[in-house]
Amino acid sequence: MGVLYLATPRSVGWEIGFQSGLSFACGIAMLAGLRRMPVHQRWPWALVTVGVLSAAVGPIPAELDTDWFPGDGPDIADVFYLAFYPAAAAGLVLMIRKLRRRTDWAAVVDALTVTVGIALFLWAYAIAPVLRDATTLLSVRVVAVAYPVGDLLLLALTILLLRSSGRQGRRAPLIVATAIGLYLAGDWLWVVLPLLDENVVNAWLTDRLINYGYLLSFALLASATVRTGVQDDGPAAPAVSQISRAQLVLLTGAVLISPGLMIAEQVSGDIVDGYAIAIGSAAMFLLVMSRFTQLLKQAERQSQVVHEMSRRDELTGLPNRRAWAQEVPQILGKCKANGVPVSVGMIDLDRFKMFNDTYGHPAGDRLLKEAAAAWNEQVRHSDVLARYGGEEFLVLLPGAGTAEAAVVLERLRPVTPMGQTFSAGLATWDHAETLEMLVARADRALYTAKADGRDRICYAPAPGDAASGDITSPVPA
């Protein structure tokens, strides 16, 4: 159909038949698609459909030279063409809100940066020349300016729509963005081509090609509306602040528009948009700095998350050996300064290897996870329970001597899940030995508990106790 349109002779009948006829066909197809949609999905697409149907009417008065307004004011065709912009914009807003309830400020900054860059270009070549033309009626100038302003609005919303849909690419937002992009490309070609060659603009083939782009845009919108399931085909994108290569290229190109315009006007010898370029440059600089700040905060948050993950055991969620080595010396230092007793218990699940071999590793992981959760509920708020490695756990008990620490560890025995038991070694700090030495004493007490038959708690004698040496004894009941 597109090839046929390009091949037909230039006449009012053919233009109305193809432009309005095909546009109406797309609009009718969209109406049919609306009836097949769930009610909660219809409003965004209904608004876009209104815009397409309105634009479909435009070629009729335009080709017939119908002038419903007196004088040299705007044509009635402009009313129908311009109606496309607010209708499509409202539809895009609803689509964005449906994809994401919370505002993604990173996407907003990206959209504004690109839009400000394109706005500078349109100001210099489409808006400012019209506003400076005092020979034209004000109403005509307002209508002429309304087109690029509408383009900028749709551009910003289209970028937001793409960012809201995520990198995985939901089909409906991608199709809609492509369709709106084709429509905007047609508008901007009318701005760019006169700068290259005025004769190209007046050629009938140029007009046909641009109009064909508009028709293709409507056809894509119709396909997105008609195809079942394309309107709601996956989760929305997570709020992210990362910049992809494509986004970086787009943002870089937008930022370079400002110096490019300044160079172009300097070469022409007539800098007429200096204030606009300066304001646009300042706006883009502030937007870039805002984006940089967002990325910096995102990096800080990610660094904090990675830091916390490196200090947590993935299976149980308890502090791991790294966190133990970093935090416990500080606690010991405070206890020493205040003269507070501190004990360390080392816990080892009995016959864990046999349990793994009998029930499988998933069951073993579940045992470790459930045991950690159950024990963590029984220790005091001031205590620190950590996974030391394998089936071994460490618990730091500030303010607890041997007897009080033993009471806390005894509370853990009846809540051990799956009918399992544990052995534990307990050592009380003498405020002089290193953390490694303290843990080593608790470890020796643990091995004594295992050697004595498991399912028990043993404590280690004080370091340097010549009478008992490294020999441990069961905790008295």
Q: Which of 277, 308, 339 is the last residue of a domain?
A: 308
Query: Is residue 396 located within the same domain as residue 270?
Result: no
For residue 199, what are the contacts with CB-CB under 8 A and spacing of at least 6?
A: none
313 in a structural domain: no
Residue type, 272: V
The order of strands in the sheet holding 342-349 is: 384-389, 392-398, 342-349, 422-428, 457-459, 473-474
Q: What is the pLDDT of residue 212?
A: 87
Judgement on whether residues 337 and 396 belong to the same structural domain of the protein: yes
Contacts of 318 (CB under 8 A, 6+ apart): 312, 372, 376, 385, 386, 387, 393
Query: Is residue 22 domain-resident?
Result: yes
Q: Report residue 161: phi and psi, to 5°.
A: -65, -45
Looking at the fold, whether 289 and 400 belong to one and the same domain comes out as: no
- Tell whether 351 and 436 lie within a shared domain: yes
Residues 298 and 343 reside in one and the same domain: no
CB 81 within 8 A of CB 58: yes
Residues 344 and 262 occupy one common structural domain: no
Distance separating alpha carbons of residues 452 and 229, to the nearest angstrom: 67
**pLDDT tens, position by position, for the chain (477 residues)?**
556 666 666 667 777 888 899 999 999 999 999 988 888 888 999 999 999 999 999 988 888 877 666 556 678 889 999 999 999 999 999 988 887 767 788 889 999 999 999 999 999 988 998 888 888 888 888 999 999 999 999 999 999 988 877 554 467 788 899 999 999 999 988 888 876 666 665 666 777 888 889 999 999 999 988 874 445 544 555 555 567 788 889 889 999 999 999 998 888 888 888 899 999 999 999 999 998 888 888 888 888 888 888 899 999 999 999 999 999 999 999 999 999 999 999 999 999 999 999 999 999 999 999 999 999 999 999 999 999 989 999 999 999 999 999 999 999 999 999 999 999 999 999 999 999 999 999 999 999 999 999 999 999 988 866 433 334 444 444
- The answer to whether residues 155 and 118 touch, using CB atoms and an 8 Å cutoff, is yes
Do 326 and 287 lie in one domain? The reply is: no
At which of 308, 330, 360 does a domain end? Answer: 308
Do 65 and 29 lie in a common domain? yes
C-alpha–C-alpha distance, residues 463 and 433, integer Å: 8
Q: Which of the listed residues 249, 275, 308 is the one where a domain comes to its end?
A: 308
How many domains is the chain partitioned into structurally? Answer: 2
The whole-angstrom separation of Cα 30 and Cα 292 is: 41
Residue 105: which residues within 8 A CB-CB, separation 6 or more? 294
The burial class, CB within 10 Å (0-12 / 13-18 / 19+), for 68 is exposed
Q: Residue 383 domain-assigned?
A: yes
- CATH number for position 377: 3.30.70.270
Residue from 35, 187, 161, 185 nearest 90 by CA? 161
Q: Is residue 314 part of a domain?
A: no
Residue 477's pLDDT is what? 43
Backbone angles phi, psi at 148, to 5 degrees: -65, -30
How would you write the chain as a 3-class SS string? CHHHHHHCCCCHHHHHHHHHHHHHHHHHHHHHHHHHCCHHHHHHHHHHHHHHHHHHHCHHHHHHCCCCCCCCCCCHHHHHHHHHHHHHHHHHHHHHHHHCCCCCHHHHHHHHHHHHHHHHHHHHHHHHHHHHCCCCCHHHHHHHHHHHHHHHHHHHHHHHHHHHHCCCCCHHHHHHHHHHHHHHHHHHHHHHHHHHCHHHHHCHHHHHHHHHHHHHHHHHHHHHHHCCCCCCCCCCCCCCCCCCHHHHHHHHHHHHHHHHHHHHHHHHCCCCCHHHHHHHHHHHHHHHHHHHHHHHHHHHHHHHHHHHHHCECCCCCCECHHHHHHHHHHHHHHHHHHCCCEEEEEEEECCHHHHHHHHCHHHHHHHHHHHHHHHHHHCCCCCEEEEEECCEEEEEEECCCHHHHHHHHHHHCCCCCCCCCEEEEEEECCCCCCHHHHHHHHHHHHHHHHHCCCCCEEECCCCCCCCCCCCCEECCC
Based on the fold, state whether residues 237 and 381 are members of the same structural domain: no
Please name the amino acid found at residue 470. Answer: D
Q: Is residue 315 in a domain?
A: no
Residues 305 and 326: their CA atoms lie apart, in Å, by 17
For residue 56, give both structure tokens. 């479909």
Q: Let me know if 39 is exposed, middle or buried by CB neighbors in 10 A (0-12, 13-18, 19+).
A: exposed
**Could you give the CA distance from residue 230 to residue 235 in angstroms, rounded to a whole number?**
12
* 132/235 Cα distance (integer angstroms): 48
Structural domain containing residue 422: 321-474
pLDDT recorded at residue 451: 92
